[in-house]
């Protein structure tokens, strides 16, 4: 319903940002990482997610599309609500979330406030399962399993897997990753790919 809000940032709290658009202030719950990247009394754009419950209507806003997509991916896990999604993304960048899931790194995810071992395990298990199903049904999976995967060296395959956690098809990211140095750290490859795809 609401794709984004753009306007003057008129107020912030430790967990929200108020953006004034056309005389209306939209209170967006957000992450610490987004709050660090925006400044009071400047024009900002937040990519939004509207959560409608029986007892409340909540608007969530993020500085980047990647952070928004990662948030939506996290809350798709059973038992992980918006508050938990914000907690994870306040502690970790989208790249770090993808890396932690791809590497079965429960400890990193539990660094987020209020996220215990059981929730972290569920996030990893469900999102890895979704990734596996997507890989089996993706038309472009040959980009990973075929020649492109065989010629991919260094950290490229790990980056493809981590980007899959964020919902990117191997066929979409493989050509982009092929243009980078495969010896770069996985997190750097992911960040470079997300930046490049944001320009397309």
Enclosing domain of residue 114: 66-130
Q: What is the pLDDT of residues 52-104, one digit of tens each?
A: 988 989 999 999 998 998 999 999 999 999 999 999 999 999 888 888 888 88
With a threshold of 0.85, does the pTM exceed it? no
Same domain for 99 and 72? yes
Torsions phi, psi for 155 (to 5 deg)? -95, 5
Q: Which of 77, 96, 130 is the last residue of a domain?
A: 130
Distance CA 72, CA 95 (A): 15
Q: What is the pLDDT of residues 2-54, one digit of tens each?
A: 899 999 999 999 999 999 999 999 999 999 999 999 999 999 999 999 999 88
Supply the CATH number for residue 21's domain. Answer: 2.40.50.140
Q: Which of 17, 33, 62 is the last residue of a domain?
A: 62
> Domain count of the chain?
3
Q: What is the pLDDT of residues 114-153, one digit of tens each?
A: 999 999 999 999 887 776 665 554 444 333 333 333 334 5
Same domain for 80 and 58? no
Same domain for 191 and 141? yes
């Amino acid at each position: 319903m609401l794709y984004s809000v753009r306007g003057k940032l008129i107020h912030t709290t430790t967990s929200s940002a108020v953006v004034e658009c056309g005389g209306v202030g939209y209170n967006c719950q957000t992450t610490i990482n987004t709050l660090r990247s925006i400044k009071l009394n400047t024009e900002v754009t937040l990519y939004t997610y509207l959560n409608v419950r029986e007892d409340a209507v909540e608007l969530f806003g993020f500085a980047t599309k990647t952070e928004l997509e990662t948030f939506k991916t996290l809350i798709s896990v059973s038992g992980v609500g918006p508050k938990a999604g914000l907690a994870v993304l306040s502690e970790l960048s989208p790249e770090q979330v993808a890396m932690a899931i791809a590497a079965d790194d429960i400890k990193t995810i539990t660094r987020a406030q209020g996220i215990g071992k059981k929730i972290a395990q569920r996030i990893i298990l469900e999102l890895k399962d979704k990734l596996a199903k997507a890989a089996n049904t993706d038309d472009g999976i040959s980009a990973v399993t075929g020649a492109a995967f065989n010629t991919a060296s260094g950290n490229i395959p790990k980056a493809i897997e981590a980007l899959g956690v964020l919902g990117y098809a191997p066929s979409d990211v493989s050509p982009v990753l092929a243009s980078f140095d495969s010896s770069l750290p996985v997190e750097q490859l992911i960040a470079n790919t997300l930046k490049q795809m944001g320009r397309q």
